[in-house]
Amino acid sequence: MQSILKKVTLALVLCTAGSRLPAQDLHLRTVDSFVSYIEQHNRGIGNLTIYRSGKPVYQRTFGNGALPGAPNDTATRYRIGSVTKTYTAVLIFQLVEKGVLSLDTRLAAFYPDMPGAPDITIRQMLQHTSGLGDYCLKASDPDWLLRPVTREAILEEIKSQGLLFSPGTDESYSNSAYFLLACILEKHYGKSFGSIVQQQITTPLRLQHTQSALLPGLQAAPSYIYENGQWVTAADFEFVNTKGAGDIAASPDDMIRFMEALFSYKLLQPATVAVMKPDRQQQEYFGRGLMLLPMRTQVLYGHGGDTRGTHCVAGYNEQDRLAVALVLNGERYDRNNFIAGVLSFIYNEPFEFPVFMDITLTPEELDRYTGLYSAPDFPLKIQVSHEAGVLTAQGTGQPSFRLEATGVHVFQMQQAGIRMEFRPEERTLLLSQGGQTFIMTAEQ
**289-344 residue pLDDT tens:** 999 986 778 889 999 999 988 999 999 999 999 999 999 999 988 888 899 999 99
Q: List residues bridging with 311 in a β-sheet.
A: 306, 328
Q: Across the chain, what does the average pLDDT equal? A: 89
CA distances from 296 to 13, 17, 120, 304, 417 (A): 7, 10, 35, 17, 19
Q: Is the pLDDT of residue 11 over 50?
A: no
Chain centre distance of CA 51 = 21
* Burial class of residue 63, CB neighbours in 10 A (0-12, 13-18, 19+): buried
Nearest to 397 by CA among 163, 224, 187, 143: 143
pLDDT digits (tens, 9 = 90+) for 243-278: 999 999 999 999 999 999 999 999 999 999 999 999
pLDDT computed for residue 30 by the predictor: 95
Q: Is the pLDDT of residue 5 over 50?
A: no
Q: Is the pLDDT of residue 414 over 80?
A: no
pTM over 0.75: yes
pLDDT computed for residue 10 by the predictor: 35
Q: Are strands 311-317 and 371-374 parallel, antiparallel or unpaired?
A: unpaired
- In Å, the largest CA–CA distance within the chain is 67
* Cα torsion 249, 252, 254, 259: sign: positive
Q: Is residue 186 within 8 Å of 96, Cβ to Cβ? A: no
pLDDT computed for residue 24 by the predictor: 54
pLDDT computed for residue 358 by the predictor: 74
Q: Give the mean model confidence (pLDDT) for residues 218-228.
A: 87
Q: Is residue 333 within 8 Å of 43, Cβ to Cβ? A: yes
pLDDT digits (tens, 9 = 90+) for 75-88: 899 999 999 999 99
pLDDT computed for residue 15 by the predictor: 30
DSSP 210-279: EEETTSTT---PPPEEEETTEEEE-----GGGGTTTT-EEE-HHHHHHHHHHHHTTSSS-HHHHHHHS--
The span from the CA of 360 to the CA of 73, in Å, is 34
pLDDT computed for residue 8 by the predictor: 33
pLDDT digits (tens, 9 = 90+) for 133-154: 999 999 888 889 999 999 999 9
Q: Are strands 371-374 and 230-233 parallel, antiparallel or unpaired?
A: unpaired
Q: Is the pLDDT of residue 288 over 60?
A: yes
